[in-house]
A = this chain, B = another copy of it.
Amino acid sequence: MADDLFKALADPTRRTILDELAERSGQTLFEICGRLAVKHRLTISRQAVSQHLAVLEAAGLVRSRREGRYKFHDLDTAPLRHIAARWPLPDEPETTP
């Protein structure tokens, strides 16, 4: 469970996918592929992105809903709380004035 979460976050491409889903919710596989190619110069196959999404979904970071032939993907950052909760954080949040 926690293992899946950290493993999902380990890959930079997957983190970029999370970034894109944070910026625009409910994207399809092809939309994400297009964004990765144009905005991040990531020439990657559709299947590769699909496999990344499967990993992210297994970690609970992405939820998907099917509508007709489309499959929309949504970001869920709730599992990220487990990370900060595991180890004690220092008091000062490093405020930049």
B6 adjacent to A15 (CB under 8 Å): yes
Instruction: Determine if A97 is an interface residue (Cβ-Cβ < 8 Å).
Output: no
In the assembled complex, how far is the CB of residue A63 from the closest CB belonging to chain B, in whole angstroms? 13
* Main SS at interface, chain A: helix
In the assembled complex, how far is the CB of residue A8 from the closest CB belonging to chain B, in whole angstroms? 9
Question: Which residues of B are found within 8 Å of A6, using beta-carbon distances?
Answer: 6, 9-10, 12, 15
Question: Which residues of B are found within 8 Å of A89, using beta-carbon distances?
Answer: 77-78, 80-81
Smallest CB-CB separation from A5: which chain B residue?
B9
Smallest CB-CB separation from A78: which chain B residue?
B90
Instruction: Determine if A84 is an interface residue (Cβ-Cβ < 8 Å).
Output: yes
12 other contacts beyond A10-B10, A22-B88, with CB at 8 A cut-off? Answer: A6-B12, A6-B15, A7-B10, A9-B9, A9-B83, A18-B87, A19-B86, A75-B87, A77-B89, A80-B84, A80-B87, A83-B84
